[in-house]
Copies of this chain bind each other. A is one copy, B any other.
């Protein structure tokens, strides 16, 4: 067969055509060769880009967290706390929710005292709302939110450990302040802490909420919160309270188990007594505690059920403080 074909050009077309054909074939081979040489490098660049993306995503999705701190006018406490929090390992960014609509946020002061370890973004709000801190901030890139009240100092070891616990239980609020709801024979619920009747018949106490003002939780829950019925948002706006109770309701309902895990803090302080601003936290209002019981009953009404579940699991860091697992005799 080969001979037959070889003979054809020689016989039918002539040497000029034969030469032309050979040139064409050579050119084609060269082009093909050139293309093959190009192809792998394009792929490599793509692989490299993909790897970089995965790495940066890895750094900013599960391996680091965003601090969201809402503040009204205790700027002295805020800046003191930011000096501490800005240096916490695995912190990706800080979002300060500036609720003082009459006053400018201290961007300039902050910048003048730079450079800073991580970006801090001051978000000037248009209305002074408690639930401002639960917006879906476009600047937020991490899977985890660290939400801290503007008068709460949590030590770095506590934060590092609680974050590692959150990474193992990313669908729950992992935090330092446990609270509970109490059922009464009338069916009306009440809100409180350890001073209240322990539920159940066993030993010890239980908690059914972990307050978000000193906690890690999954940033997707901010979207969940935004999607809640208007009645929930209205309740929070009316009381300027209970956003954390609502979050616990939402999460418990979503995961079908206890909304949070309590991590016992080793070194956590409330600095509110140290402020010179003349203002004190919202919880000093006379109606604050009663409001929270009120909120629980309203939320049960809105959702049609009580989704909160009790837990008695308290997590501590093994061996920190030193030998903390040994029995005190």
Contacts and interface: CB of A to CB of B under 8 A. Distances in A.
A40 B323 CA distance: 64
Contact of A318 (B313, B319, B322, B327): B313
A312 B313 CA distance: 15
A194 B318 CA distance: 10
A84 to B, nearest CB: 17
A207 B318 CA distance: 8
Nearest to A320: B204
Given A160-B203, A203-B160, A203-B161, A318 B324 contact: no
A170 interface: no
Nearest to A198: B319
Contact of A203 (B314, B315, B317): B317
Size category of the A interface is: 35 or more
Interface string A302-316: 000000000111111
A141 interface: no
A317 B318 contact: no
A308 to B, nearest CB: 15
A175 interface: no
Interface of A: 157, 160-161, 164-165, 168, 178, 194, 198, 202-207, 262, 264-265, 268, 311-320, 322-327
Q: Which 6 A/B pairs are nearest by Cβ-Cβ distance?
A: A205-B319, A204-B320, A204-B319, A312-B318, A314-B318, A203-B320
